[in-house]
A = this chain, B = another copy of it.
Amino acid sequence: LKSSKSIETVSFVGSGNVATHLAVALKGAGVEVAEVFSENTENAKTFAIKLQCSIAESIQNFKMTSDLTILTVPDSKIVEVSKLLPDSDSIVVHTSGITDISVLNGREHYGVFYPLQTFSKERKVDISEVPFCIEANNENDFNLLMELAFKLSNNVKKVSSDQRKLLHLTAVMVNNFSNHMYHLAQEILENNNIDFDFLLPLIQETALKINDVHPAKAQTGPARRKDNSTIKEHLKMLNEFPEYQEIYKLLSEQIMKKYHE
């Protein structure tokens, strides 16, 4: 890519949730989605129909004529895929939180285009709020990737591989582990014929609160106030769920330590 040019065409290797959400957003921003390849041929077809793009029959036959090639394959496949792709001037980026930029150093132009958000088929995400973490192997490609990301989102940052890995680790904590709490709560309530929807306003408020209040200050509840009798009663109520008891115990101990040691 010449330094004056911006990214006008994009292709995808992989056709899952991240690929689909990104491709739809890019197309909406006036970027052409040219080509897709996926080992999951059904997914690839759905993607190609939705984005009206061509399908490569194999990774070796990928045309690679787009300004940018976005890899949304599993982390363990990134190196292999980047080596199988034909030589080209196309910038090759991965979208992984945990993978170092250096795994792509067999390419001439490479980088990272990491959207820090949870994507699923069932929900439309407001992409303009999604933080994009950008990295590239040279300044010109970096600027092109930044420019592209800003077409999608107001929240685009230069983030090093080490910083991105820490964001990914903490994203697992705030997303996967919080969602696991919702899952346990839902199980316990349904087991007792109580509607899980009772908890939805509390769940929303818990997440919204930290927009205004530091999480250390936002904490409340029995462990925060060292209310051992409530903790004891809750643990007793969890007798039929020994695994959840273990989580309750460990987390309560750690919260108590934070505020009472």
Task: Show the binding face of A for B, using Cβ within 8 Å.
Answer: 74-76, 98, 116-118, 120, 122-123, 125, 129-131, 155, 157, 163, 165-186, 188-189, 192, 194, 198-224, 227, 229-230, 233-234, 237-238, 243, 246-248, 250-251, 254-255, 257-258
The answer to whether B201 touches A210 (Cβ under 8 A) is: no
Q: For the complex, what is the distance from the CA of A157 to the CA of B201, rounded to whole Å?
A: 14
The answer to whether B219 touches A180 (Cβ under 8 A) is: yes
| Chain A interface, DSSP helix/strand/loop, else mixed | helix
Given A75-B230, A167-B198, are A222 and B120 also a contact pair (CB < 8 Å)?
Answer: no
List B contacts of A176 (CB < 8 A).
Answer: 219-224, 251, 255
The answer to whether A207 touches B204 (Cβ under 8 A) is: yes
List B contacts of A181 (CB < 8 A).
Answer: 173-174, 177-178
Q: For the complex, what is the distance from the CA of A120 to the CA of B246, rounded to whole Å?
A: 29
Given A123-B212, A251-B177, are A192 and B163 also a contact pair (CB < 8 Å)?
Answer: yes
Distance (whole angstroms) from the CB of A166 to the closest CB of chain B = 5
The answer to whether B186 touches A216 (Cβ under 8 A) is: yes
Given A123-B213, A167-B194, A176-B224, are A229 and B75 also a contact pair (CB < 8 Å)?
Answer: yes
The chain B residue sitting closest to A255, CB to CB, is B180
